Structure 1
Amino acid sequence: MSKTTVTSDSSISDRYELQPNNQITNEMEPKTVPDISAEQTVKKRDKNVKQKDEKPIDKKKLKRLQKLERERKRFVKLIHDESKRLMQIIIPITVTMFLVILSIQFFPVFSTGKLSRTFGEKLNWEKEGSSSGSKLGTALIAAAIFVVLMAIITFVMALIIIYNFMVCVKVFFIFAFVIYFGLFSAGYVYIALDEYNVPMDWITVGVFIWNYTAVGIVIFFIAGPKLLKQTYLILLSANVALILILVLPEWTTWLLLGLMSIWDLYAVLHKTGPLNKMLSALEDKKQMPPILYSTVIFLQTDVEEDDDSGVQLGLGDFVFYSLLVGRSYASSDLLTAIICYISITVGLAITLSILVTINTPLPALPISIALGVIFYFSSKYFIIPFNDELQERLIFI
């Protein structure tokens, strides 16, 4: 049997001293850190913000930032406005090129080069059996003669405008418009009638050409609707480009475009250039003559009528752009002409972006013509043959 040991209450009390009830309760409760009240947090935050606001502001830095912001807004607004005007220029250029391509398509006389060869043989520019070097030399001489004639006419026009002989300017332009609207239009009508064997008497043709020329003179030198004036300019540009395609040999055309671009750089940018002098003389009037024998593009911002403000493009730009696209279509195919058209529009956009940035007159031909010529030869001798080779092997990219 086991023995049970009994411990007395006195021994327990000796070993463990009894504590008061309230002291035991306090020791059992968890100790907590007192929270900061919401009011104290808000006051502390406001105090920190107030201390930051009391720091001195750099006034020079603030003015510089404000100036940069104003310049940025002005530049963005200018780009937005000029992009709209760019479309107003690209649309008539596109219509002019389309008319040139359409005429070459329906009238093969523009693409055969028969008249240009006859014209070259009469002037001893091209002979049967002549070498490529000989043709290149004669083409360079012909293009140089054309550019020299352009330069002489432009210098004469600049002198007339500088010395304020505006009556002579008006007479000269009337005479030029009579030649353009009369003779060139008569030549185009003759080609169209002869191509499709349409019988027409000379009296009817003469009356039509007379009315067409008279209306053109009236709307340009007296008064007329703006849309009709733009239509006449498009028809005139397309007609002049077609005449040049018809008369000039192929290599003469390419060299002429290159020399005209070089001439534009001097005529517009150099301080002694005739177009530079002409623009300086016309600065108060803010208006260019209705036709130019070279090309210039400038930003017109202070004019009497809002419809004429913005980018002004010379008539020569339309002619030489259409000449490049028309010659590429006549010498190659439609794809090459489309590539040249895209190159011209890209070059024109680059020129206009530079114009908006520096706000000074710029020649409109060099960038567009350079891109057009480069892409013409690259597409004719590289892209088109490569594409044809892929099609023959049924390879699609």
Structure 2
Amino acid sequence: MQRSVLDSLGVEIIGVISPVSICMLLVVLLVSTLSPSASDSAAAAASATTAATLVYDESPSDPPGRRLAGALLNAAAFVALITAATTLLVVLYYYRFTGFLRNYVRFSAFFVLASMGGSILLSLLRAAAFPLDAVSALVLLLNLSAVGVPAVLSPAVPVLLRQAYLVALAVIVAAWFARLPEWTTWTLLIALALYDLAAVLCPRGPLRVLVELASSRDEELPALVYESRPASASVSHAVAALGSVELQPVEPAPPNPTLSNRNVDPDRTIVEIESLEEETSPLVPNEPSSSGSGDARQQDIAAEREREREGERNQDPSSSSSLPGLAFESDAFDTSRGIRLGLGDFVFYSVLVGRAAMYDLMTVYACYLAIISGLGCTLILLSICRHALPALPISITLGVGFYFLTRLLLEPFVVGASTSLVMF
């Protein structure tokens, strides 16, 4: 019987939800610390200039219609930029510029940690009035950034260190994106959820093409991907794109001890497995019969299947009899899988709760529960579909919906009930 993620659903969900929750918590703390008031938030949003605000610079004094149109233009430009960058990544990976892509990822990690992370670190030091001179802060920042360069891709780095740096990168980028203007933020999140849906599920979507191309080559795609249960370096595994979640194979299961005690020919492994299932199947009662007729019937069935297997080997020149345990190992490969989540999902989950933190904590709780619920639904669908799925659409849709429902309906009701001393 095949096993799936549902067999160890609690461990798998905790392995993904824990870092996502930590990332969102850190972003909420950063936003609350660095933007404690609405005026400071507006000033930070006005001063933040990113690729998402190149077309339209939102101003609180603009009418709603103009802000909506400008936010749509910003979202369209940002999605077009991401599509172009992903398409370029597909072309470079198709022509095997893997070394260049790895160096680019390392440079990106160093740039984010040194420049964007340095700016956040400086703001935190100023907010806490921490006595640290500029030279010491610069040396500390450069050392932390230099360690992060090999940590994001090298398999020799300890797993916990790599996971910590991936979460740190997501926190830094999300803290910057959370400073975007309000209308642009919500429009951008919805647009990215739609893009993720198309890029992963469409037959020619760029993220799907990347996953299929890397799977066909049986190699890792140089990208920032969080692994909930990393596999060993000796086991080949598929890749996950930045906007998708997918299963990852781990170590093959040990062979059945019942099989190891039998003295059988390696080429007859599959036949013996099927025979054992027939002998111990709980769905078929064991009726008394003569041993001679039963053994003869099983020998005839085994011989017929062996002849069919020999015919298939002769017709297919690519098949080889030197891998007797291939079917058994493939079964373990397909069923013992971990979960991989693109770092972009960490970022935009955290952007949503970071934006909610600029309003009040009630919306933060609602958005967090909605995102985690959407991620759980995605993981359940992942265990059923057994291929890469977009991780943004369900969570972002629920998060945005719960934000506005909480802000427009629940928060006025709770505040009104509290001021009227109505207790529940």
Q: 2:25 corresponds to which residue?
A: 98
Residue 244 (structure 1) aligned with residue 177 (structure 2): yes
Q: Which amino acid aligns with 1:231?
A: A
Q: Which amino acid aligns with 2:411?
A: I
Residue 312 (structure 1) aligned with residue 244 (structure 2): no
Separation of aligned partners in 1, 2:88 and 2:26: 32
Counterparts of residues 242-281 of structure 1 (less than 5 Å): 242-246=175-179, 248-281=180-213
Larger Rg, first or second structure (1 or 2): 1
Counterparts of residues 323-334 of structure 1 (less than 5 Å): 323-330=351-358, 332-334=359-361
Q: 2:414 corresponds to which residue?
A: 387
Superposed displacement of residue 395, structure 1 = 1.7
Cα deviations by residue, 1:269-308 (Å, 9 ceiling, x for unpaired) = 01111111100111143644332784111112256999x9
Q: 1:159 corresponds to which residue?
A: 91
Counterparts of residues 173-322 of structure 1 (less than 5 Å): 173-222=105-154, 223-246=156-179, 248-283=180-215, 284-285=217-218, 287-291=220-224, 294-301=242-249, 309-322=337-350
Cα RMSD of the aligned pairs, angstroms, is: 2.5
Tell me the secondary structure at the aligned position of residue 178 of structure 2.
helix
Superposed displacement of residue 122, structure 1 = 9.5
Cα deviations by residue, 1:76-96 (Å, 9 ceiling, x for unpaired) = x64122331111000011111
Cα distance change of structure 1 residues 128 and 325 upon mapping to structure 2, 3 Å threshold: closer
Residue 80 (structure 1) aligned with residue 107 (structure 2): no
Cα distance change of structure 1 residues 118 and 104 upon mapping to structure 2, 3 Å threshold: closer
Counterparts of residues 41-80 of structure 1 (less than 5 Å): 70=1, 74=2, 78-80=5-7
- Which moves more between the two structures, 355-364 or 78-87? 78-87
Superposed displacement of residue 168, structure 1 = 1.4
Return the match for 1:107 from 6, 14, 34.
34
Cα distance change of structure 1 residues 287 and 84 upon mapping to structure 2, 3 Å threshold: farther
Cα distance change of structure 1 residues 309 and 220 upon mapping to structure 2, 3 Å threshold: farther
RCO (CA 8 Å, sep 6+): is it higher in 1 or 2? Answer: 2
Tell me the secondary structure at the aligned position of residue 113 of structure 1.
helix
Tell me the secondary structure at the aligned position of residue 57 of structure 2.
coil
Listed as ranges, the gaps of 5+ residues in structure 1 are 1-69
Separation of aligned partners in 2, 1:239 and 1:176: 12
Separation of aligned partners in 2, 1:267 and 1:211: 37
Cα deviations by residue, 1:44-70 (Å, 9 ceiling, x for unpaired) = xxxxxxxxxxxxxxxxxxxxxxxxxx5
Identity score, percent:
31
Superposed displacement of residue 173, structure 1 = 0.7
Cα distance change of structure 1 residues 177 and 119 upon mapping to structure 2, 3 Å threshold: closer
Superposed displacement of residue 309, structure 1 = 4.5
Q: 1:171 corresponds to which residue?
A: 103
Conserved in 2, the CA contact under 8 Å of 1:265 and 1:366?
A: yes
Tell me the secondary structure at the aligned position of residue 299 of structure 1.
strand
Cα distance change of structure 1 residues 347 and 97 upon mapping to structure 2, 3 Å threshold: same
Tell me the secondary structure at the aligned position of residue 300 of structure 1.
strand
What TM-score, normalized to structure 2? 0.71
Separation of aligned partners in 2, 1:302 and 1:132: 51
Cα distance change of structure 1 residues 304 and 159 upon mapping to structure 2, 3 Å threshold: farther
Q: 2:275 corresponds to which residue?
A: none
Cα distance change of structure 1 residues 124 and 386 upon mapping to structure 2, 3 Å threshold: same
Cα distance change of structure 1 residues 262 and 192 upon mapping to structure 2, 3 Å threshold: same
Q: 2:325 corresponds to which residue?
A: none
Tell me the secondary structure at the aligned position of residue 247 of structure 2.
strand
Aligned length: 321
Conserved in 2, the CA contact under 8 Å of 1:286 and 1:300?
A: no
Q: Which amino acid aligns with 2:57?
A: W
Cα distance change of structure 1 residues 85 and 119 upon mapping to structure 2, 3 Å threshold: closer
Q: 2:45 corresponds to which residue?
A: 116
Conserved in 1, the CA contact under 8 Å of 2:223 and 2:242?
A: no
Separation of aligned partners in 1, 2:392 and 2:178: 18
Separation of aligned partners in 2, 1:303 and 1:276: 25
Listed as ranges, the gaps of 5+ residues in structure 2 are 226-240, 254-332
Tell me the secondary structure at the aligned position of residue 129 of structure 1.
coil
Tell me the secondary structure at the aligned position of residue 312 of structure 1.
strand
Q: 1:4 corresponds to which residue?
A: none
What TM-score, normalized to structure 1? 0.75
Conserved in 2, the CA contact under 8 Å of 1:110 and 1:245?
A: no
Separation of aligned partners in 1, 2:101 and 2:388: 22
Separation of aligned partners in 2, 1:304 and 1:155: 34
Tell me the secondary structure at the aligned position of residue 321 of structure 1.
helix
Separation of aligned partners in 2, 1:110 and 1:263: 33
Conserved in 1, the CA contact under 8 Å of 2:152 and 2:166?
A: no
Q: Which amino acid aligns with 1:379?
A: T
Separation of aligned partners in 2, 1:299 and 1:159: 25
Tell me the secondary structure at the aligned position of residue 316 of structure 1.
helix
Cα distance change of structure 1 residues 130 and 220 upon mapping to structure 2, 3 Å threshold: closer
Separation of aligned partners in 1, 2:77 and 2:140: 34
Tell me the secondary structure at the aligned position of residue 125 of structure 1.
coil
Q: 1:32 corresponds to which residue?
A: none
